[in-house]
Amino acid sequence: MARVEGSGISNNHPYVPRDLHLPGFVPGVLSQSTVVGVFGLSTLLLVSFIWVLSGRSPKKTKIDRWLMCWWAFTGLTHMIVEGYFVFSPEFYKDKTACYLAELWKEYSKGDSRYAARDAGVLAIETLTVVLEGPASLLAVYAIATGKSYSYILQFAISLGQLYGAAAYYITSLLEGDNFSSSSHYYYAYYIGANVSWVVIPTLIVIRCWRKVCAASQIQGHKKTKVR
């Protein structure tokens, strides 16, 4: 147990900074392998389900099917996992071994701003849950049904995700970038767990931009011919 010198406050949490005050903190029950394993298995099952389901439509390309898997995964992650964080301000006090509480207790080892309820992180996550979560599931529907707004929607969500990722990292740097319990958690959680929301949205933005530009050129040629 760590004691903050001169304050008389004892902190038994594993997070950095050590003087972070989390009254009523209850240590996680599930092991790191269990928390990560359950998340990985759930992701695999979801992606497999969407992949098989999307395969029933012969008109869907493999890229469209992978995008449906991505948007289903990211949408449910935003709404369920991040939604729990937004609406459970004292998850670190949980004594029931609730999986989502255990997940955030574990992730906070890579970024203690979550346990500390940092205002910047909370603002980013709230917008993500309320806007990007439902929009991501709408993207699955748009791709599946071939809606005309599919590319614009994916473009907009991806830009939002990139903006959120940039704000997430920039605010950490401005505050000292010292919120990980060790280099292991820093690279595994803070970097590794978030890299997908940088790389994949970037690729989607590029693809959608090209698709929209190509469609605009075709429309322009048609108007020219009509004249």
24, with CB counted inside 10 A (0-12, 13-18, 19+), is exposed
- pTM, entire model: 0.90
H-only helix segments in 55-98: 62-76, 83-87
List, in sequence order, every beta strand (DSSP E) within the chain.
2-4, 9-11
Tokens 């240590």 belong to 27
Angle of the 150-174 helix axis to the 119-127 helix axis, nearest 10: 170
Number of helices followed by number of strands (H, E) in the chain: 9, 2
pLDDT in single tens digits along all 227 residues of the chain:
444 443 334 468 999 999 999 999 999 999 999 999 999 999 999 999 999 999 998 889 999 999 999 999 999 999 999 999 999 999 999 999 999 999 999 999 999 999 999 999 999 999 999 999 999 999 999 999 999 999 999 999 999 999 999 999 999 999 999 999 999 999 999 999 999 999 999 999 999 999 999 887 776 656 556 55
